[in-house]
C-alpha cells in the first residue's frame, strides 16, 4: 500500500524512471544503455519503498488509556532533553526527537488523542535533521494537542534533503492516537514535547515504529 500523501511524487518519479529505462533501449549499442536502465530501476524501487504505507496496529492500552504517548514516526531516537517551551506548553518540558532516514516509513501519526489547540507552519532553513538547531531553524509544522492528561506538542521538521511537509491537521480538529496526520518527504525529524514529569520508556539510540511503539506515559 502506498501513501496518498505522495501521489504527485510517485507519478513524477515513476515517469522519470520509465523514460530512463525506455531510453536505454534506444542506445542499446552504447555504454550508456546499462547506466540508464540501472538508474531507472533504482529510482522505481526507491519510489515504491519510500512511499509505502504499511498497516499499523496501535497498542490496546494506548487506545484505552489516553495517558500513553506513541511514536509519531518510524526512526531512531536521537535526543531526549529538557527544554523551555514558549509557544504552546509555555514552560518546562521534555523534548524527544526521532530521526527518519530516507529508508524509514515517512507517514506521520498523532502520538496522542486530544483536541488540536495550536497549529503553525513555519518556512525555514534546511539543516541536517539531526542538527540540534534544526527544530528551531528548519521548515516545520507545529501541532499542540490538549489531552485529558495535559498538553503535548509535536513537530514535523524537514532535513537537508527534504523540501516538503504534508500536514492535514487544522486547529480545532480532534485527533485519535495513531491517526495519520501527514508525512515528511526524503529524510526528516519529528519532535514530541511533553510535561517533564512524564515517564519515558525509550532511550537515545532506540528504534521506534510510528503508531505502534509506546514511548512515554503522561502523569
Catalytically active residues, by annotation: 188
Q: Which one, of 112, 140, 143, lies nearest residue 125 by Cα? A: 140
For residue 75, the cross-strand partners are 208
Residue in this structure with the C-alpha cell 535526543, named with its chain if needed: 79
What's the maximum distance between 2 C-alpha atoms anywhere in the chain?
Answer: 68
**Cα end-to-end span (Å), the chain:** 37
Name which of 154, 211, 183, 214 is nearest 52 in CA terms: 183
Q: How far is CA 107 from CA 68, 133, 149, 177, in A?
A: 20, 23, 26, 14
Q: Is-contact 23 37, C-beta < 8 A?
A: no
Interatomic CA distance for residues 138 and 124, integer angstroms: 5
Helix (H, G, I), strand (E, B) or coil at 9: helix
Cβ atoms within 10 A of the Cβ of 55, count?
6
Amino acid at each position: 500500500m502506498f501513501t496518498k500523501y505522495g501521489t504527485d511524487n510517485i507519478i513524477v518519479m515513476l515517469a522519470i524512471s520509465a523514460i530512463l529505462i525506455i531510453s536505454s533501449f534506444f542506445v542499446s549499442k552504447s555504454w550508456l544503455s546499462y547506466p540508464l536502465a540501472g538508474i531507472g530501476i533504482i529510482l522505481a524501487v526507491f519510489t515504491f519503498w519510500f512511499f509505502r504505507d504499511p498497516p499499523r496496529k496501535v497498542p490496546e492500552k494506548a487506545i484505552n488509556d489516553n495517558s500513553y504517548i506513541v511514536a509519531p514516526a518510524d526512526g531512531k531516537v536521537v535526543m531526549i532533553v529538557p527544554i523551555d517551551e514558549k509557544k504552546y506548553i509555555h514552560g518546562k518540558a521534555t523534548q524527544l526527537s526521532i530521526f527518519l532516514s530516507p529508508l524509514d516509513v515517512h507517514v506521520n501519526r498523532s502520538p496522542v488523542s486530544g483536541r488540536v489547540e495550536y497549529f503553525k507552519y513555519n518556512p525555514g532553513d534546511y539543516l541536517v535533521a539531526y542538527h540540534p538547531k534544526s527544530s528551531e531553524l528548519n521548515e516545520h509544522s507545529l501541532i499542540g494537542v490538549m489531552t485529558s492528561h495535559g498538553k503535548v506538542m509535536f513537530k514535523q521538521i524537514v532535513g537537508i534533503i527534504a523540501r516538503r511537509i504534508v500536514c492535514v491537521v487544522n486547529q480545532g480538529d480532534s485527533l485519535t492516537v495513531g491517526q495519520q496526520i501527514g508525512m515528511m518527504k526524503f529524510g526528516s525529524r519529528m519532535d514530541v514535547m511533553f510535561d517533564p514529569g512524564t515517564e519515558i520508556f525509550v532511550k537515545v539510540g532506540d528504534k521506534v515504529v510510528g503508531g505502534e511503539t509506546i514511548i512515554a506515559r503522561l502523569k
